[in-house]
Amino acid sequence: MTLLGLERVSFWYPASDRPALRDVSLRVGRGEIVALVGNVGAGCSTLLSVAAGLAPRVTGGRLEGTVTFPGPGTTGEGRALLLPVPWTQLSGMGASVRDEVAFGPANLGWPLARIRAAAERAMAGAAVAHLADRDPLTLSGGELQRVMLAGVLAMEPALLLLDEPTAELDGDGAAALWALVRDEAGRGAAVIVATTDLDAVPVVAHRVVWLADGRVRADATPTTVFGDDAIWRDGPGGPTVAEVWRTAGLAPPWPVSVTMAARAR
């Protein structure tokens, strides 16, 4: 069932003649994990802003086409975006991590008991419960990224939008994040994640959308998208395992993960 639908969407930032998105059509269903990949400046972050309902409402600019999101309310509730640089997402209103995580649900106007329960659950899920009483401003980059993730999860979004969510995380933290993404999809959330961690993509995502210069260049399974030589020539490339096969001069389809390379033996 489609949760988010983009129909021929183009978007221009204020004072820019060049569209950041061009004629983008995309559907994402409940329980689905879609990885958004592309070169720097391809429009991945812009697409997330549009999906979050922040562009053009908050960013300004001009949008053509249709965005449908039949979640509960269309002005924020039900969808949440995690920004790539965590301190830019700090509300500045929370003296403790617990307050910071509760900030989102509080703004949704939930009853106090529900806010508290959601915040505790989200902190446990993002493995930051032990930081609950710390001042967010004293955290490391990785800790803060997980706290911001908890703040997003606390709002129990039907549509979860993640922009480079592992940028600040170490190996364990990244693995835990990807597991959490699968859990969220398991409970029925639709997830769109823009990432440069292309090795994680085949393991986590059901579908890969490759954006180039604001357009959808490909929308298919990881094996199909990363098996197209064009994404290696003109785009962000793909998982390391596929790169080994490609560098070896072998023809696609290439295995996209270690598991896949081993399974067919």
Partner 1 sequence: MTPVLSCDRVSFAYGGRPVLRDVSCVVAPGEAVAVIGRNGAGKTTLTRLIAGLERAGTGTVWVGGRDAARHRADELARRVAVVFQHADQQLFARTVREDVAFGPRALGVPHRESAIRVAAALAELRLDDVAHEHPYDLPAPMRKLAALAGALALAPVLLVLDEPTAGLDRALRARVASVIRTRRAAGCAVLVVTHDIAFAAETLDRALVLDGGAVAFDGAIAELCRDPVRLRALGLREPPVAALSRTLDLPGRPVRIDDAAPIVAACCASGGLPYIGESHGQT
Closest CA to 112 of 99, 124, 125, 96: 99
Chain position carrying tokens 């996209």? 256
Span near partner 1 by CB under 8 A; candidates 28-36, 39-47, 185-193, 208-216: 39-47
- Residues 90 to 129 in contact with partner 1, rule: CB under 8 A: none
Q: Please report whether residue 140 would count as binding partner 1 according to CB under 8 A.
A: yes
Q: Please report whether residue 249 would count as binding partner 1 according to CB under 8 A.
A: yes
Residues 6+ apart with CB under 8 A from 167: 84, 85, 145
Nearer to partner 1, 28 or 257 (CB): 257
Nearer to partner 1, 40 or 113 (CB): 40
Span near partner 1 by CB under 8 A; candidates 3-11, 32-40, 55-63, 109-117: 32-40
- Residues 148 to 187 in contact with partner 1, rule: CB under 8 A: 164, 167-175
Hey, how many other C-beta atoms are within 10 angstroms of the C-beta on 169? 20
- Decide if 218 contacts 188 (C-beta within 8 A): no
Chain position carrying tokens 């899920």? 125
For partner 1 (CB under 8 A), the number of binding residues is 47
Closest CA to 137 of 152, 122, 148: 148
Q: What is the CA radius of gyration of the chain?
A: 19
Nearer to partner 1, 32 or 257 (CB): 257
Q: Please report whether residue 39 would count as binding partner 1 according to CB under 8 A.
A: yes
Nearer to partner 1, 12 or 69 (CB): 12
To the nearest whole angstrom, how small is the minimum distance from the Cβ of residue 121 to partner 1? 22
Give the phi and the psi of residue 253 in degrees, each rounded to 5. -75, 140
Distance of CA 138 to the CA centre of its chain: 25
Nearer to partner 1, 113 or 248 (CB): 248
- Decide if 256 contacts 223 (C-beta within 8 A): yes
To the nearest whole angstrom, how small is the minimum distance from the Cβ of residue 80 to partner 1? 20
- Residue 85, burial from CB neighbour count under 10 angstroms (0-12, 13-18, 19+): middle
Nearer to partner 1, 117 or 175 (CB): 175
Residues linked to residue 79 through DSSP beta bridges, in sequence order: 159
Q: Which residues bind partner 1 (CB under 8 A)?
A: 38-41, 84-85, 87, 140-143, 164, 167-175, 196, 198-199, 236-237, 239-241, 243-255, 258, 261-262, 264-265
